[in-house]
Chain A
């Protein structure tokens, strides 16, 4: 990177020399063109203000990013999860629902071979034996361009006794944020490069899958799961 720096400074230098040397623009046209440029920049600044003002009031996205506190939101999520009330948290949304008829007595929950299933799971026993298993996936991830940042998992029945949960497709999201110019940052302590790393991580939010099983179903959880709690269960 250090080696690139002189090269980067030479390139515009060469360009400037070339441009300054060869072409000759008339005096009047120069004045005109540059004035247009100045006016254009000024109009842009106006446009920026107007746009930002219009957008800020509407965008929940902006609010969330500035108001997220990474530590507390994670804690709240898991607390709610273990108490069975995660669906009631305001930032949590349901992003998948599956329902299976399951007459069997035993259930094995597995994931793909050697993988770790990312969302935490909660197994909740219903009060009755209705031979139905309901799986709901929750996320507190932000939506970007209409999609959740984290894709919902897939839930399938496999064979007689197995319920397979696999991670959602991986996403790669490329986006842009603005930082202040170094000339502005140099003198404002409070506008130094913002610590986006933390905040971004929290944008991904927390994921959880709640599996509601009939009362007497025997459930065995395979490897690769992070079990938060078993609700209404004896053990």
Chain B
């Protein structure tokens, strides 16, 4: 009987491939969600009107914003589900908590990559669709320079990583304590409503949003995202390491 020595890297790799195979279906849901968002976007993301007494121009503004938002929500949910799966299913095969978390992280990285790129290019699809389907005042913005597409993809990928990591974190917390499953959404949506009012909590919430969304330097933004994601994962790794397997 031979006892096999193994190492963290090879196990993590195997787990990553396994997760990829077992969860491939989420890519279909990504596609569906993006096409749905595309459909919703054809009514215009926002609109403005301009005119005189004689003529009014109703302008509907088309952009890929809705597609991106839907994709980010998808990324969050995928993160949440991955945490649930990692906790409930990984232990059947070769794993320890660390390799499970690392493999999940790599998996989420890959899904974020795909999500970010497809979201941006789905926006192109949206514009092409509208070009052939509606009369446009101008075709400016129909074709975006490759550099811009890449930049948009890159940024969306980073946001997706952030959302996935948050979802994963939330999912792991929920495995630890079922009560949190309810508590956190209540807090979150509650604070959204509170954000309309000018309370301290709302201020804090707004500051957090500004931290990410108003960053205008790409390098700094990358740094912020990377640090946040790393922090989330390190926290998860530390506190799941002594968790037993529950049925």
Q: Which residue of chain A has the shortest Cβ distance to B145 in the bound complex? A: A49
What residues of chain A lie closer than 8 Å to B65, measured between beta carbons?
Answer: 181-182
A47–B130 Cα distance when bound, in Å, is: 13
Do A34 and B31 touch across chains, with their CB atoms under 8 A apart? yes
Taking the nearest CB of chain A, how far is it from the CB of B199, in angstroms?
A: 14
Residue in contact with A183 in the complex, picked from B73, B142, B159, B189, CB distance below 8 Å? B159
Contact: A178 with B120, CB < 8 Å? no
Interface window among B7-15, B89-97, B121-129, B236-244: B121-129
**Any B CB within 8 A of the CB of A51:** yes
The smallest C-beta distance from A36 to any residue of chain B, in angstroms, reads: 9
Q: In the complex where A48-B124, A52-B139, A172-B58 touch, is A180 in contact with B33 (Cβ < 8 A)?
A: no
Tell me whether A53 and B143 are in contact (CB under 8 A).
yes
Q: Which of A49, A176, A204 has the most CB of B within 10 A?
A: A176
Whether A179 lies near B50 (C-beta < 8 A) is no
B6 contacts A by Cβ under 8 Å = no
Instruction: Tell me the nearest residue of chain A to B212, going by C-beta.
Output: A186
| Residues of chain B with a CB closer than 8 A to A144's CB | 135, 137
Closest chain B CB from A102 CB (angstroms): 27
| Cβ-based interface call for B176 (8 A) | no
Classify the secondary structure of A's interface with B: helix
Other-chain residue from B32, B122, B134 in contact with A176 (beta carbon distance below 8 A): B134
B155 within 8 A of A: yes
Q: Which residues of B contact A178 (CB under 8 A)?
A: 61-63, 127, 130, 140-142
Interface centre among A37, A172, A191 (most CB of B within 10 A): A37
Point out the residues of chain B lying under 8 angstroms from A42, CB to CB: 121
Q: What 0/1 pattern do residues 42 to 77 of A give for CB contact below 8 A with B?
A: 101101110111011001011001100000000000
CA distance A178 to B125 in the complex (A): 12
Contact in complex: B189, A186 (CB < 8 Å): no
Given A12-B70, A178-B61, A181-B152, 7 extra CB contacts under 8 A: A19-B33, A34-B31, A51-B128, A53-B143, A62-B140, A170-B55, A187-B221
